Structure formats: C-alpha cells, structure tokens
Structure 1
Amino acid sequence: MTQPQGFEDPSYPNHVCLLHKAIYGLKQAHRLWFATLSTYLKTQNFTLSSADPSFFHYNKDQIHIYILIYVDDILVTGSDPLYISSLISNLQKRFQTRNLGHLSKFLGIDFHRSAHGYHLSQQSYITDLLHLASMSTCKPLLTPLPSKYPADPNLQSPFTQPDLFRQLAGSFQFLTSTRPDIAFAVNKLCQHMHNPLILHFQLLKRVLRYLNGTSTHGLFLPKTKLHLSAYSDSDWAGNQLDRKSTTGYCLFLGITLLNWSVKKQTTIARSSTEAEYRSMAAVAADIIWTRRLCEDFLINLPPTELFCDNVSAMSIACNPIFHAQTKYIEIDHHLIRDSIQAKHIAVSHISTLDQPVDFFTKSLSSTRLATLRDKLMVLPTISLRDGDKDNPSTKLC
C-alpha cells in the first residue's frame, strides 16, 4: 500500500492513511455499512428477518414497523405514523440521511397509490431502453415472441454487435421486476448472450416493439385476502437444441401476483411427469421461503394450495413410497413430498386451459397473452388522485 497521489506526507513517506470510515468502492465498504446500520436498528429493538437479511421488523404493543434496506436506500412502513416519524428522526441524528417523503419511486420502479392499491410500473425505464436501442418510434406488436421462429438461413449468421445485444438483454432482466409478461422472452434471449445470432437480435427487437406498445403496463397490488396459492408448469423438452425443459411457476397472495420464475432445468427430463415434478419442487422451495416471510408480518397462513395440471406428478408428490420409475429423480426434489406431509402445501389439479403459468413456459398468441395478462393483474398504471397523495404511511429515506 502507498499513500494516495497528491496526499503524500513528506515527514512519513512510508506510512499509509488510517480510515475513520469505509470509502465507497472498497470491497468491504458495503459490509461495514450494513453492519453499522443493522447494529443500530437492533438497539432500537428491531429484529432481523430469518427469511431476508435486508428486512427488519418491530412488533410490540400493537405497533408494527417494517424496514427494507437496499445498500443505502431505506423503505419504512408500519401501522403507527408517529413511531415512523420518531424513527426517521433518530436515523437522521445517527446518520446523514434525507427523508424523501411518501413512496413514489424505489430502485427505478414507480409507485402510484390509489384508493384501490399500489400500481408499479417502469415506464420511464422502458423509454430510456427504447432510446438506447434507437427504437423510440418503432411500430408496436401484440406479443413479445412469435409462435414460430423464422427459418431464414440468413438469420443464422453471428450478430456483429454482441455487446449491444448483451446490454439490452441484461436490461430486460431488471424490467421483469414489474413485467412478468416478458419473463419467458427474456429467459430465451439470455440463453444466447455468449454468441448471439442475427435471429436473436431480431427477436430482441420484437420484445422492444412489444414494450413500446405496452409501456404503461405494470403490476397492480390491490387490497386482498391474505391467502397464499401457487401454480407450477413446465414445457417438456421445449428447447430445440438440448431438449431441456423449462420450469415456470407463480405465487399469488389473494389475487395479487407476488412472485414468479422462468428457468431452464439443469438436466434433461426423461418424461413430462419428471419435468412437472421438478417444477413443483422448485415452487415448493419458494413457497416455504414466502411462508417464512409472512411469519415476520405475523400472518398465519393455512396450507398453501399448489395447482398443477399433471396428474402423474401429483401422484408422485403425494405418494410416500418410492417407485422404480422415480428413483432417477434426485432426492432433493422430494422436498415437495416432505412439504405436503408437513401440511405446508396442499396439491390440487387444474385444467391446462386454466393454467396461468403458460405465461412463463411458452410463446402465446395475442388473445391468450391478453387473457393471462389480465388474470395476472398486469394492468395500465392509474394516475394518483389528489386525495390519495397524503394517505400512504410508507416513506422513503
């Protein structure tokens, strides 16, 4: 180590600076900052969540306060506005902070509150993305992916600007925070980051054209019953190159879409039953985590209903006896079976026509896409009314 250029001490040329606090950019800076902040919150009788290390909660004497931390952005909400004001005042005394008022934007996501709930959107982010790709005036499309890929051999050549492809495809990943309708398309595009073809860039531009026509869409979080349900599905051997299946699932709290995932399975499934069973195991792990998180909010949930459209996979999950047909399925995927026996999950059958997870496992027609988009509460954002601006107790620091 040497002294920083311009700050050398001629009297002590072999000494180095002793830091009084961490500097941004150092590897250990964020760890030290979080340790300092979490230690202070614990002195204020906050408890660290066992499900999420960035989530703190305070539950005492009918006062419920919740704090969510992302580096140096802090979201505070709770049932007692006076306690929240006192907490923010104490934080300002201890740290150099700014009170940004009621929640309007957090981590690039716009929050609009109405009498019916919160509307989350990333319209400004989509506008910047279209400008980056020079497609601000492109013609909108009704679906993010075609039902059948073009077979033009000219599209099989390598794309000459792979860095641009990676930049745009990576930006899509953040956009899926409020746009589950493009999750499947983004998953497909990101599988070709290492060697994109002209075909893949054409598909990427199609997603941009779809976003241009739906830039005002986002997630709606209404007031709803505290009932957790889940749906799982898979597209067996859907990948034309390696014949691996795609896992898709989503979780609802009441009618609110809470969590979702699209992921290509790591191994090849020998049957549609195995592919569906792996999807059920994946959502089971997410259900267990969500139930632990709900406990921090003092929400007591009944067994979570898991809907699947494959009767054979349901039979394997509910049957405590191992069969020769299932011995090649890894033991860790039998987590779903243990969860059912512990009454954390209750498996139910659903018709394939009513399966909302088609959203995450295959390309859909414009009619089917619109139907599922409405079902998953992906709606145009609603402007704030003047009477709603002062209602939220959620604040941002």
Structure 2
Amino acid sequence: MPTTFLASKLKKHPDKYFLSQHAYATYIIQQSNLFHCKPAANPSCTKLPIDIPIDSNLEDPSLYRKLTGALQYLTITRPDIAYAVNNLSQHMHDPQPSHIHLLKRLIRYIKGTTHFGLPITKSDLRLRTYSDADWASDPVTRKSTSGYCSFLGSTLVSWAVKKQTTVSRSSTESEYRALAAAAADTIWLKRLLTDFRINHNQHVELYCDNTSAIALTNNPVFQARTKHIKIGHRFLRENLANNYIRLLPIKTVDQIADLLTKPLSTPRFKLLRDKLTITPDSFVCGGLLEN
C-alpha cells in the first residue's frame, strides 16, 4: 500500500520506490480553475507571444502568489518544473501579464504530468553532480542563474535553481560560481552519508560544460583578471586538491543541469527530463507510459 505524508506519496514497486505528489498537483490545478485546460508539453517557453491574452482566471495577484507558493512545494518531487517555478517566484510582488501567461503554461504542463514523480532505485552509492549556469539571464539585473543536481547511484537526491547574488562579468565567472555552490552541496552530501555510516571514500565526479571554468579551477595561480571572484570560492580548488571531488568536462548536449537554468525547446526538455529520471508512475493506466 502507498504511504502518504504531507501530500507526498511513496509507492513500493517490485524493483523500486516511487515518490510523487499526484493529489497535490491535482489540487493546484483545481485552485487555478484550469482543470479542463489543454495540457502543455513544456513548462516554459523560449519566446513569449507578441500579444499576450489576459486570463481572467489568474489575473488576481493574490491568486498568483498563492499558486506560486504551492508550486514551490510541488518541486519536492518535480525538479523538472524547478526553473519555471523559480522564475515565477521572482515576480510575486508585481506579476505582469507575461508572468501570468507563464504561470498558466506551467499549470497546463502539470495537468498533463500529474502522475510524474521521482523513482528511488537500488543501485551503487556513488555520488555524481552536474553543474551549469546561464550567464546574465535576467534581462533587468543581468544576474546569472545557477543550477545543479546530484545523483546517488541512479537516484536523484539533490537539486537547486538559484539566481546568483552578484553580477558575473563573464560566462566563466558565472559557471565558476555555480561550480562552487554545487561543490558545497556535494561535500555536504558526503558528510550526510557518513552520518548514515556509509563511507564514500572515492572522489565525487563533478561535471561542467565550461572548459574555462575547469581550467580556472585546476590552475593553482589565481590570475589577476579573476580577483573579482570572491576568495571564498577558492575552497573549490581546495576540495579538488584534497581529492574530495573530481572535476570533469561534459558536452553541453549531455549537461543534465541545463534543464535547471533556462527554458528549452520541447524535444531537448523531454530528453533531459528523462535523464533527470522524472518519469510517470509505471502502474498508472495499466503500466502505459506517456506517449
């Protein structure tokens, strides 16, 4: 029998556990008065329409804030919507028609994926982390967006999407800041495993698709042109020197954390969603998965 706790349901399968929030996702759709809306295949859009229609169901700012807060809780089991929710959360004080349009699109996406969730499978206990950044992505403040996700074996255990606190002067700097945040989370996960008496003696593989950031991390000399990066980020190289982490390059096309930093085309979004292991419950509709 499935176990439900704080709107999260854990279902046991023969080969895995499945963590989801189907009932809570349905509740959000009902609160938005969009229960009969047409599902969308992508929670974000790469380009907004020129003429954005006014939606009378969502034009109330208080409803926008209520739904966005509820969606933040839904990201506990749905990291595939983490970027879209993070973007909406930055405009809760004054939502504009474009933000309401994006909120409606996100709810339409959830409408078609209410049975999606996070599988927990039996596998090895080796950590690996993917880190990415979208340089100067905010059109107003020109701050970058950091995103990273960590896997324990084949199970996704940690992820984050966050706007960086300062403006980065180059893509290398923004990627380096994202790497530092990812490394901090990775070291914390290693210590958490130790508390559970699981010794993770090998280094953690940390993947980045920016060769300049990797070179900067491996360079023992802190170049004058990069002194504007906070000295606190030096701990990234210290953990590298202590063999706690191992920094590896990865092709941009294979960078899973890309889904956490920017809106993507639908084919690429679905590809990375699968790699992020966000899938529908295989027991839904007699085991038929989403087309």
- TM-score scaled to structure 2, two decimals? 0.93
- Indicate yes or no: 2:174 matched with 1:275: yes
Whether contact under 8 Å (1:120, 1:381) holds in the other structure is: no
Residue number in structure 2 paired with 1:34: none
Unaligned runs of 5+ in 1: 1-101, 385-397
Is the contact between residue 248 and residue 279 of structure 1 (CA under 8 Å) also seen in structure 2?
Answer: yes
Identity of aligned residues (%): 47
Alignment pair present for 1:197 and 2:85 = no
- Say if 2:73 is the partner of 1:174: yes
1:355 aligns with 2:275: no
Shift of 1:147: 1.1
Equivalent residue number for residue 49 of structure 1: none
Superposed displacement of residue 243, structure 1: 0.9
TM-score (norm 1): 0.68
1:156-212 superposed Cα distances (whole Å, 9 cap, x missing partner): xxx851111000001110000111110000011001011111211111011000000
Deviation at 1:372, TM superposition (A): 1.0
Report the Cα offset of residue 382 of structure 1: 3.6
In the aligned structure 1, how far is the partner of 2:208 from the partner of 2:93?
Answer: 34
Is the 8 Å Cα contact of residues 114 and 382 (structure 1) preserved in structure 2? Answer: no
Structure 2: how far apart are the matches of 1:235 and 1:160?
Answer: 30
Partner of 2:267: 367
Distance 2:177 2:50 in 1: 32
Query: Residue in 1 aligned with 2:8?
Result: 109
Aligned residues: 280
Q: 1:136 to 1:342 in 2, by over 3 A?
A: same
What corresponds to 1:162 in structure 2? 61
Residue pair 2:131, 2:148 contacting (<8 A) in 1 also: yes
* Post-superposition CA distance 1:291-315 (Å, at most 9, x none): 0000012222111010001111111
1:317 offset after TM fit, Å? 1.1
Q: How does 1:308-347 map to 2 (within 5 A)?
A: 308-347=208-247
Q: Tell whether the 8 Å contact from 1:112 to 1:383 is kept in structure 2 after alignment.
A: no
Tell me if structure 1 keeps the 8 A contact 2:59–2:100. Answer: no
Cα displacement string for residues 11-32 of structure 1 (whole angstroms, at most 9, x for unaligned residues)? xxxxxxxxxxxxxxxxxxxxxx
Local SS of the residue matching 2:129: strand
Write the deviation string for residues 325-347 of structure 1: whole angstroms up to 9, x where unpaired: 11000111222111111111110
- CA distance in 1 between counterparts of 2:155 and 2:77 reads 12
Letter in 2 for 1:112: K
Match of 1:253?
A: 152
Give, in whole Å, the separation in 2 of the partners of 1:308 and 1:315.
Answer: 11
One-letter identity of the residue aligned with 2:214:
M
Give 1:312's aligned amino acid.
S
Match of 2:44 among 122, 135, 145: 145
Counterpart amino acid of 2:230? E
One-letter code aligned to 2:116: H
Secondary structure at the aligned position of 2:25 is classed as: helix
Q: Residues 59-74 of structure 1 correspond to what in structure 2 (within 5 A)?
A: none
Provide the rounded CA distance (Å) in 2 between the counterparts of 1:202 and 1:351.
33
Q: Name the CA distance, whole Å, in 2 between partners of 1:333 and 1:241.
A: 26
1:211 aligned residue: 110
| Deviation, structure 1 residue 151 | 3.2
How far apart, in 1, do the equivalents of 2:78 and 2:59 lie? Answer: 29
C-alpha deviation, 1:383, in angstroms: 3.8
Post-superposition offset of 1:150: 2.4
Q: Secondary structure at the match of 1:144?
A: coil
Runs of 4+, deviation exceeding 4 Å:
none
**Quick check: which has more Rg, 1 or 2?**
1
Q: Is residue 2:189 matched to residue 1:290?
A: yes
Q: Match for residue 48 of structure 1?
A: none
Distance in 1 separating the partners of 2:135 and 2:154 = 28
One-letter amino acid matched to 1:305:
E
For structure 2, the residue ranges without an aligned partner over 5 or more in a row are 285-291
Tell me if structure 1 keeps the 8 A contact 2:52–2:101.
no
Q: Aligned partners of 2:261, 2:252: CA distance in 1, in Å?
A: 13
In angstroms, what is the RMSD of aligned CA positions?
1.5
